[in-house]
Structure 1
Amino acid sequence: MAVLPELLRALSTGRVRVVDLTARLTPDVPVLRLPEPFANTIGFSLEEISRFDERGPAWYWNNIHTGEHTGTHFDAPVHWITGRDGLDVASVPPEQLVGPAVVLDFSAQAAENPDFLLEVDHVRQWERNHGPLPDGGWLLLRTGWDARSGDEEAFLNADETGSHTPGISPECARWLAEETLLLGIGVETVGTDAGLAPTFEPPFPCHSLLLGAGKYGLTQLQNLALLPTTGAVLIAAPLPIVGGSGSPTRVLALVEQD
């Protein structure tokens, strides 16, 4: 049987469900805040052009104002100095925007410790239980942090010592970058790195090591709790911004129903 007609039948009958993993883009969407003297991105806003009035009697449209790394977004290798000679977001091969995904659920640990870090031993134990990480696919780290996304203060969780959000240790980031065939990683937090990553060695190891290895990042994902541990297919659709370091992205998952 032809594959695409079968997929369409599965979608129409509900045997395959589409799960939206994307945070809605509003002026309230949390954005990364870097300390001085570093420059920061703008948030998201709409500028009305016309709305069924004298500026345009039959149409409504807006200009959008936002940064590349606002809301649920895609990090291309060129985003980081270690990947500065790598792909921009428009150059990512389209076949790499669709791939298998696995979910590593450490939400209980993150609830107890907002500075929780995924270690290599965690991943190896997960592989013993569930099989190998998918070649040409995504590791999605579930921490339950999407529950905070409606409150920027709780989402960034910062104090005088820095931001306290879960992530991936430098050793694990290096292992994922150098020892796996993953396309990239996806997280629920504001960036792919943990909140205290500026103090790590190297600083911001997920950005430095994974993007430097030509892999990708997805951030501010939602609804990972609705995905199976293995078996989902992830679709990431960033805007093809020529020269872009990243893009707000609609991220969908296809999930087969029992």
Structure 2
Amino acid sequence: MVDKPSKVFSLSHPISPRIPLWPGDPPVAFEDVASRDKDGYFLRRFSMGEHSATHMNAPNSFYAGGMGIDGYRPEDLVRPAVVIDVHGKTQSNPDYEICPLDIEAWERQHGLIEPGSVVLMYTGWQHLWNDPIAFFGQDAQGSHFPGIGEAAIRFLLEQRQIAGVGIDTHGVDPGQSTAFATNHAVLAGNGIVLECLTHLDRLPAKGATLVIGVLGLEGGSGSPASVMAFIP
């Protein structure tokens, strides 16, 4: 018999037409197609971008010929997770780039990050979700939100052999990035990239297990994701 976890948290935001959307992405839309009064049952259709709401990116979103979201195996999507809390550094600097020093500080307190882990970055941006203007910080220079710097992702992939990363902003790369180095580096190895997570402040620094549910969209560049965290 499998031991029941002591706590289970959803790390996904509810999906509605009011969610923050990456500039240029299609809106979230719902349409009734059957009603209980007329048809005896209620049914809607919905449409949205593959990278909207809490979602997972696929390699083919950045690499021609890369794997689609339907290429991930079930066992790829169950992973140990660690949470690195950087929200104290991001509140005064929305352009903050998470660096190796942040990782080293975490490891001094909690030990080395184990290979195969998904590293989740808590920036505090999850609390801005219901304010799309603040969530993106858009101005003439583009978006302003924190993300994982190139040196940090290289360290995590090369020195710690992680399985992927996640964050509570709309991008694992900083909002000012145009190179998307973190996405490129993780997805080059068919790793996991999770964006727009929430409730990261409720998780322990280590010990949680992620179960990532995605839609098996044929050739999909990504998918809205139902991400659950199990705490033993």
TM range (shorter): over 0.9
Output the amino acid matched with 1:59: Y
Note the residue ranges of structure 2 that are not aligned, 5 or more in a row. Answer: none
C-alpha distance in structure 1 between counterparts of 2:81 and 2:206, whole Å: 7
Aligned to 1:117: 97
Partner-residue secondary structure (3-state), 1:155:
helix
Matches within 5 A, 1:103-252: 103-198=83-178, 203-252=179-228
Output the amino acid matched with 1:42: P
- C-alpha deviation, 1:163, in angstroms: 1.1
- C-alpha deviation, 1:232, in angstroms: 0.4
Larger radius of gyration: 1
Partner-residue secondary structure (3-state), 1:162:
coil
Output the amino acid matched with 2:208: A
User: Structure 1 length as normaliser, TM-score?
Assistant: 0.86
Asked whether the equivalents of residues 176 and 210 of structure 1 are also in contact (C-alpha less than 8 Å), the reply is no
C-alpha distance in structure 2 between counterparts of 1:175 and 1:86, whole Å: 23
Output the amino acid matched with 2:193: G
C-alpha distance in structure 1 between counterparts of 2:200 and 2:114, whole Å: 17
Identity %: 32
- C-alpha deviation, 1:133, in angstroms: 1.5
Asked whether the equivalents of residues 110 and 166 of structure 1 are also in contact (C-alpha less than 8 Å), the reply is yes
May I ask how many residue pairs the two structures share in their alignment? 232
* Poorly superposed stretches of 4+, deviation over 6 Å: none
User: Structure 2 length as normaliser, TM-score?
Assistant: 0.95
Q: Deviations over 1:64-109 (max 9, x none)?
A: 111110100011122112xx33321111011011110000001111
- C-alpha deviation, 1:157, in angstroms: 0.7
RMSD after superposition: 1.3
Asked whether the equivalents of residues 86 and 102 of structure 2 are also in contact (C-alpha less than 8 Å), the reply is no
Note the residue ranges of structure 1 that are not aligned, 5 or more in a row. Answer: 34-39
Partner-residue secondary structure (3-state), 2:7:
strand
